[in-house]
């Protein structure tokens, strides 16, 4: 039996009007991957000798994506959308191949290559000239219906728009996935007519044509209808995204990841998660994020291209393009921006924002601080409400903080500035000059108390009453 696939044709020229979007339909994303990338990745698994994609609307945007996903695929331009049959005519026009061709739509991202491979086996075993993959939908409206005769074999596909009521009641639909003998397809598509409600050439009419000849045509029912859902509007996009989310979460859970609430946990395709990671509700893991064993993520945490090392915890936080070291703690309410590197056992606590900075092993920024463009050594503590003043209004400057430094609360570190190993800064200091190792930088006005001020200037207030009760007088003192 020959299960070699000679050609795969993906139809992706449609405008996707119902998406009401500036972005071509097939470039909308699900789980961090465009719809067309999902389809092409599955097609690639089948190892067809040639892959052709029919493009039209938004071609200048769609073609680069196709090149990036499947460099060996070729594109065919359909300047006017005259229907799926017309798209296939164009794809076949200069095609030299013979054998078997798979045709599918670029808007069905949930189809799995395993299902396509089984479909190919069934088609080859039965020696069909055409096989169409069908499914039974709870709500078949909008799809082409499969009409079978009394023996159960397919007679025709009727589009909903052209269907009388009794055909609309059929719940078996055309998924838009077909296998054809190339020669038979070539002969049949040449004969298509646009005598239908849309005035288009319907690829689906080829079935009845092949069937009316001597060719063997079959409709093969797929067992999982969710795989065959197509995306035409934003609700279907959300529906497919939720199915993909469940699939991705299931595969992580089977691999030993605890996902406390899979319905509110969204994980992109390329994310890597080791076993014994726990993900709490409301978390989203995007891009090339990777998480090592024992880490705790969430609740309500979003990570985009973040590397989280063993045993770290990231709670109620938003992190992008950064690295979080082993056993470190981040959050709650922490914002780690691009270029942040937290070494092992470090801490970025509540209401802390860090950008383009390295934080050494065991160092802590526990509360309410901004750290930008800095290098912080090991074992250092940054007091609450410290700001790394990195921007002079024109340029950004760096701050270097040594090992075992104690930055007092509410210090402004005006960059460029360096604080040496073991140095301190006094709370409330505005540090504009380097602090040498072992020194304390004090940069604040000396405090003076004006005795009796409240009793003199705010007499009669509750503060004045409390002060008087505590024994204060109007005396200025010395
Ligand atoms: C099509 C089928 C229908 C099936 C459904 C499955 C036809 C006539 N109808 O309907 O039986 O149930 O898919 O989802 O084939 N395209 C082009 N060029 C064109 C027109 C369409 O490339 O001129 C592409 C579209 O980008 C899309 C695919 O072909 O990827 C299907 O077109 P669409 O307009 O979505 O057809 P449906 O009405 O969904
Ligand atoms: Mg469609």
Catalytic residue annotation: 367
Give burial (CB, 10 Å; 0-12/13-18/19+) of 60.
Answer: exposed
Pocket of ligand 1 (CB under 6 A): 11-14, 54, 78, 81-84, 86-87, 105-107, 143-144, 157, 159, 173-176, 202-204, 230
Ligand (nearest to CA of 143): 1
Residue 478's pLDDT is 58
Neighbours of 3 (CB within 10 A): 13
Show the beta-strand stretches assigned E in 299-427: 302-308, 313-314, 318-324, 329-330, 335-336, 341-342, 347-350, 353-355, 358-359, 364-367, 370-372, 374-376, 381-382, 387-389, 399-401, 406-407, 412-414, 417-419, 424-425
Angle between helices 35-45 and 113-125 (to 10 degrees): 50
Residue 1's pLDDT is 63
Domain boundaries, the chain: 7-228, 245-441, 448-478
CATH topology of domain 245-441: UDP N-Acetylglucosamine Acyltransferase; domain 1 (2.160.10)
- For residue 219, give both structure tokens: 């409709």
What is the C-alpha to C-alpha distance for residues 281 and 293, in angstroms, rounded to an integer? Answer: 18
Residue 210's pLDDT is 87
Residue 155's pLDDT is 92
Q: Could you tell me which CATH class the domain 7-228 is placed in?
A: alpha beta
Q: What are phi and psi of 65, to 5 degrees?
A: -65, -40
Probe target for ligand 1 pocket from 24, 55, 105, with the most ligand atoms within 8 Å of CB: 105
Low-confidence ranges of the chain (pLDDT < 50): none
From the alpha carbon of 143, which atom of ligand 1 is closest? Answer: 12
What is the C-alpha to C-alpha distance for residues 299 and 72, in angstroms, rounded to an integer? Answer: 42
> Whose alpha carbon is nearest atom 34 of ligand 1?
14
Residue 265's pLDDT is 98
> Whose alpha carbon is nearest atom 31 of ligand 1?
105
């Amino acid at each position: 039996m020959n299960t070699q696939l000679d050609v795969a044709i993906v139809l992706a020229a449609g405008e996707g009007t119902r998406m009401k979007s500036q972005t071509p339909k097939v470039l909308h994303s699900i789980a961090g991957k465009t719809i067309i990338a999902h389809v092409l990745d599955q097609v690639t698994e089948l190892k067809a000798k040639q892959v052709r994609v029919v493009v039209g609307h938004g071609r200048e945007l769609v073609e680069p994506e196709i090149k990036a996903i499947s460099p060996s695929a070729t594109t065919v331009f359909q300047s006017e959308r005259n229907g799926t049959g017309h798209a296939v005519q164009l794809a076949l026009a200069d095609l030299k191949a013979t054998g078997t061709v798979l045709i599918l739509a670029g808007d069905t991202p949930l189809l799995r290559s395993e299902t396509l491979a089984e479909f190919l086996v069934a088609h080859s075993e039965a020696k069909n000239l055409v096989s169409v993959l069908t499914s039974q939908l709870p709500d078949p409206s909008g799809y082409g219906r499969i009409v079978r005769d009394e023996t159960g074999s397919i007679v025709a596909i009727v589009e909903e728009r052209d269907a009388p009521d009794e055909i609309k009641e059929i719940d078996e639909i055309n998924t838009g996935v077909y296998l054809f003998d190339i020669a038979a397809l070539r002969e049949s598509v040449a004969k298509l007519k646009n005598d239908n409600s849309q005035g288009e050439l319907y690829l689906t009419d080829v079935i009845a044509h092949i069937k009316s000849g001597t060719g063997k045509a079959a409709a093969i029912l797929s067992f999982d209808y969710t795989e065959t859902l197509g995306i035409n509007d934003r609700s279907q996009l959300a529906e497919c995204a939720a199915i993909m989310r469940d699939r991705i979460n299931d595969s992580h859970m089977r691999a030993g990841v605890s996902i406390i609430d899979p319905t509110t946990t969204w994980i992109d395709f390329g994310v890597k998660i080791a076993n014994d990671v726990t993900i709490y509700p409301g978390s989203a893991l995007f891009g090339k994020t990777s998480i090592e064993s024992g880490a705790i993520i969430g609740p309500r945490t979003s990570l985009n291209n973040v590397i989280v090392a063993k045993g770290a915890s990231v709670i109620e936080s938003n992190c992008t393009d950064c690295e979080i070291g082993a056993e470190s703690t981040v959050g709650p309410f922490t914002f780690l921006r691009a270029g942040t590197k937290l070494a092992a056992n470090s801490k970025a606590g509540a209401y802390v924002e860090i950008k383009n900075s390295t934080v050494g092993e065991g160092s802590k920024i526990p509360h309410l601080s901004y750290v930008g463009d800095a290098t912080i050594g090991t074992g250092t503590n940054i007091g609450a409400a410290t700001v790394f003043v990195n921007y002079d209004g024109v340029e950004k400057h760096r701050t270097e903080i040594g090992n075992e430094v104690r930055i007092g609360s509410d210090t402004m570190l005006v960059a460029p500035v360096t604080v040496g190993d073991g140095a301190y800064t006094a709370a409330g200091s505005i540090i504009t000059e380097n602090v040498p190792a072992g020194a304390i930088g004090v940069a604040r006005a000396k405090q003076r108390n004006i005795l009796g001020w409240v009793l003199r200037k705010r007499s009669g207030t509750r503060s004045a009453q409390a002060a008087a009760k505590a024994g204060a007088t109007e005396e200025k003192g010395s």
